[in-house]
Amino acid sequence: MNIWTIRAGKYGEQEQACLNEKLVTISWNDLPNLMSFANRDQLAVAYQKLYEEPNKLKVGITAGQLWRFANEIEVGDLVALPSKAQAVIHIGKVEGAYQFQQKSKDVLHWRPVTWLRTIPRAEFDQDLLYSFGSLLTVSQVNRPDAAQRVLRMVQGKSAEVAVKAAVEETQEDFDISQHAVDQISKLIARKFKGHAFARLVDEILRAQGYVTHLSPPGADGGIDILAGSGSLGFERPQICVQIKSTTAQADVKTLRELQGVMRRVKADVALLVSWNGFQANVQKEARDEFFSIRLWSANDVVENIFRYYDKFSDELKAEMPLKRIWVLVEEE
């Protein structure tokens, strides 16, 4: 059994279709049935001709991904679909052969999958995150015992070989910015739990210019933070904030409870922060409340840390020491 990373579009535009339709898919929908090619070289020639790609190296790399998707991924293999919307990775099991069939508007080349579990990125060992951060659309995860380790995580067990695997490296291109986010997310998951996580969100809101009241540790009646604009916090918008730092994704009950709290304290808007993201029905219902409720997952928290870090207190900076760096972006 192997495990493969398969992306759902550059911006995650096919992620929801993959989850809803129980499949993994790739782009390049102008290509015909991939099983019509006798070998990888024929596929490369067709790709080069169709897309008029002058770069032979890119032609070879892309043809390799397409060939692997149709021919080398086996039934029973695991797939990892990194989410662009939340700091999670969807894990599934391949249930059938490659299909060339219009499944939906943007889904033509696909493999049927049973989705097993959605796991926060911070729970994976760093070597696996390197592989999940590959810049390729389709890539095999070649870390030691990768499939067995991920399967244990799906089953709610610890990855027994994590220490051994973490020290072994392979050469592969990966998303360096995502690597930085993963490192910071791991630190937050380790050091900012419970009330400490609420304190971190409070720091972000104060850096944005809000006057805040942070509830003390313990029962909070559904209110972790109250925030208002203006020098005394009396100006609008006035916000009530509920924060979940548990490993579970926030459910729709939590969202509806926050709506009740918002009415009770007469807040204009509400913010629901869930470190490990939200169940699909929460995201759907929150869209209907766009002008009154916002959702923040780990990605949003880290993005706001980057944006407002310079305004954080010295105490918080000492707990989370970060340094801005510049890197050259390789041309495609």
- Is residue 167 domain-shared with residue 225, that is, in the same domain? no
Q: What is the pLDDT of residue 237?
A: 93
Give, for all 332 residues of the chain, the pLDDT tens digit.
999 999 998 888 899 999 999 999 998 999 999 999 999 999 999 999 999 989 999 999 999 999 999 999 999 999 999 998 888 999 999 999 999 999 888 899 999 999 999 999 988 998 999 889 888 999 999 999 999 999 999 998 876 654 444 434 444 566 778 888 888 988 998 889 889 999 999 999 999 999 999 999 877 677 899 999 999 999 999 999 999 987 788 999 999 999 999 999 999 999 999 998 998 899 889 999 999 999 999 999 999 999 999 999 999 999 999 988 877 766 54
Residues 222, 138 share a domain: no
Burial class from Cβ neighbours inside 10 Å (0-12, 13-18, 19+) for residue 81 reads buried
Is pTM, for the whole model, over 0.85? no
Domain boundary among 141, 174, 207: 174
Residue 186 lies in a domain: no
**Which residue segment(s) compose the domain that 205 sits in?**
191-319
Total tally of structural domains belonging to the chain: 2
- The closest of 268, 225, 277 to 247, measured between CA atoms, is 277
**Is 179 part of any domain?**
no
Q: Same domain, yes or no, for 74 and 142? A: yes
Inside any domain, residue 116? yes
* 164 lies in the same domain as 254: no
38 is a domain residue: yes
- Taking alpha carbons only, the member of 264, 275, 322 closest to residue 298 is 275
Q: Is 69 a domain residue?
A: yes
Residues 207 and 132 in one domain: no
Q: What is the CATH number of the domain that holds 293?
A: 3.40.1350.10
Residue environment code for 111-125, b if the CB has 16+ CB neighbours within 10 A, otherwise e: bbbebbebbbbbbbb
What amino acid occupies position 195? H
| CATH number of the domain bearing residue 134 | 3.10.590
Backbone angles phi, psi at 73, to 5 degrees: -70, 125
**Count of other CB atoms within 10 angstroms of residue 134:** 18
Q: Identify whether 252 is part of a domain.
A: yes
Q: How far apart are CA 81 and CA 12, in angstroms?
A: 10
Residue 57 lies in a domain: yes
Sequence letter at residue 107: V
Can you tell me the distance from the alpha carbon of 69 to that of 227, in angstroms, rounded to the nearest whole number? 49
